Copies of this chain bind each other. A is one copy, B any other.
């Protein structure tokens, strides 16, 4: 029984602290939440919770504040999924349905997510596994420089410049073009990669043709597109009232380092589930005083890429998780259709 009430106290403290941004005391707690016990009882519980590491006291005679461990317990056991309201759902779908382009879809998603959560949103470009190759074009920029353009069924265009070891003449280029075209056009990306790999192996020696084929394999695998991501809503960082120079500066820098962000997203890309990383749980020290809420998304509910938000550990976890999940779902659906 006490155990149950203690959890209720923890939940109440988290909710109040998130709402007010101020340490919460025993009296205010029993008033605002319908706990049918006296402040003294709550005090005992709070002391116990503090011993166990779920709460902390900024100063001796101040209210309690949740620790990272406290937030962890909160999201793991105390969160009731808060479904989005009908209006919100409608807003999401109409906003995303207006997109024409993959770029447009992604940038709209970022905006949407940052506005819904009032946090910094990050969306990774979806991988291409499910899409097929429409067309491959090779353009000679110079005798030893080749522009390779792959047009995919999603409407996406991947491009890449190759530096060749040796110059390639027009006829060789035409040969290569038709060869590559036959091997790749119409195939799933993965199959095209396979076919091109075989092609490269079949050719003897390190001639330009083999080099091109090999680089095509690389260019068309998922790496390039997985590296792309979009960040939005940085203005929400300005709400970090206190601790500004200390916290926001490195955060802003890290947000421009996409490599760092990719590591952050990459670590927790389980499909379907919303992942929450709280405070120093993550591997990146710039994010030690923030929480990261992410989830995978992609067509057919395969998690092809990751999206999420970055915010202070003191955040509305249920609401944020719901928003992240909702956006990921609608985004997945759009990828399914288009």
Interface residues of A (CB under 8 A from B): 100-101, 134-135, 137, 139, 141, 147, 149, 151, 153, 155, 157, 159, 161, 232-235, 237-239, 241, 244-245, 248-250, 252-253, 255-256
Dominant SS at the A interface?
Answer: mixed
Q: Is the CB of A155 within 8 A of B147?
A: yes
A85 to nearest B CB, angstroms?
A: 25
As for how many copies of this chain the complex holds, the number is 2
Pair B155/A161 contact, Cβ less than 8 Å = yes
The reply to whether B237 and A252 form a contact with Cβ atoms under 8 Å apart is yes
Please give, as numbers and ranges, the residues of chain B lying within 8 Å of A255 by CB-CB distance. Answer: 234
| Chain A to chain B: the 3 pairs with minimum beta-carbon distance, closest first | A235-B252, A238-B249, A235-B253
Q: Complex: how many Å from CA A44 to CA B26?
A: 62
Which residues of B sit under 8 angstroms from A233, Cβ to Cβ?
256
Q: Is the CB of B139 within 8 A of A147?
A: no
**In the complex, which residues of chain B have a beta carbon less than 8 angstroms from the beta carbon of A249?**
235, 238-239
A256, B232: Cβ atoms closer than 8 Å? yes
Shortest CB-to-CB span from A240 to chain B, Å, is 10
Nearest chain B CB to A104's CB is how many angstroms away?
Answer: 9
Task: Tell me whether A157 and B155 are in contact (CB under 8 A).
Answer: no
Instruction: Name which residue of chain B comes closest to A338, CB basis.
Output: B141
